Structure 1
């Protein structure tokens, strides 16, 4: 390297090698080399977000995959302790959790009040701004990229990367990553969902702010890939309930509005309020 600059040919070769190797090869890369190149890839990623597309080689999709692969075996990730979550949700008595599993799990809905009073264990995992709706939108959406869905029973993460090749690092995709919607009375007299727009373009953060002012809900999926704190919470929840993975969505709804219409999910879910001054109607 000359003057601290990395030759583009070396960079392109390294990215191609990393993105096509198997997990055994990734694990054999010395830790210091992995950390240094991961830092470089992140710096390049931030740089290519500030210039026109196509002017940086390799592409941001290739850089996103490189960062993904090099991050898989990095130390430093901590999971929210399952026992702390259990007491936070179900209280300090073991019977509370056991009763939920035996009587309600995958069987019937249940409304749980505060378990141990340690609600901060969940709210503290929200490492984005919740001081105001505008601040939340800015901290969550600004710089966010598309997160392709990962099957919960996918055991080989490299198989997922093969399927998702070329789609990592692209802009948020409307309908897959984000929806901006409200429920209102339609011309037919029935209530239904109305979307603010069909696709994202321009300054989508500014447009989402306008949508919220008009009573729309901003629904964003894949929060476990966008927030370190939420990732730790989801990993702890997966361990507590014996699941391979747990996903997280966030719904930013202005007061007095309804986002999604009445519906049911084909999976088990919990709905803790992140920041709410109004009671939810169930």
Structure 2
């Protein structure tokens, strides 16, 4: 595992609590994120994801608890921590009446970026912004604004990149480009990346580890493969394959089956179901049954629908 200043943990959080008045946004969270990994932080709206991201980036101060970045306690040396971290949230940080190049130059001056001219040319080209480089930022599409926002964040070569819903409300091609670039940044430069997203399939594509936060509490934190294994015997997803002539008979049988929680038709010869049981058969119908591994979305939905203990 890569290390930085002999510390294998890029981010170490102990007992983090953040209150806004009487509202507890983050409740006694412990979290460790290893150097060089991509960590997915997921949860419902208002669960505390953005608050954690802003606290790591020093935009917010903890009410209590401790946050360390590469062994440096945030409260003791905020500027040192800021030099190592870039946060990407929405693109409101961009100056609308400047061009993409001017936006990057402005940030480079503020962040004291070395070799800024060369880096700016490279990012403008790599992010496909060459044809818009002299266009005002306010006239760019949402996708291109977010590309510029991420280029801006990477300009200072951060050790940690915090991405708060980086592909929210942008076009498919821009989203795809951003995901590829995130992976490349992690593989090529060893950048530690923390990403929040409501697109759980996106987190599955990118993350090595995942954390689920609900009502300010971290309820799961593990390697994503371990999360799958943990819930494989609890969540029962089956793929049913059958002859097309059997389609109506199969569907009618499933709709009246009390053990079936959800039905997802795939084709006239295939359907995926969520069942209460660890085994599944359809009496009197010739059906091939294959158990599928639950997706992160299946696991997320399962946890959120469990009664509070």
Same fold (TM over 0.5): no
TM-score (norm 1): 0.31
The structure that has the greater radius of gyration is: 2
Q: TM-score scaled by structure 2?
A: 0.29
User: Which is strand-richer, 1 or 2?
Assistant: 2
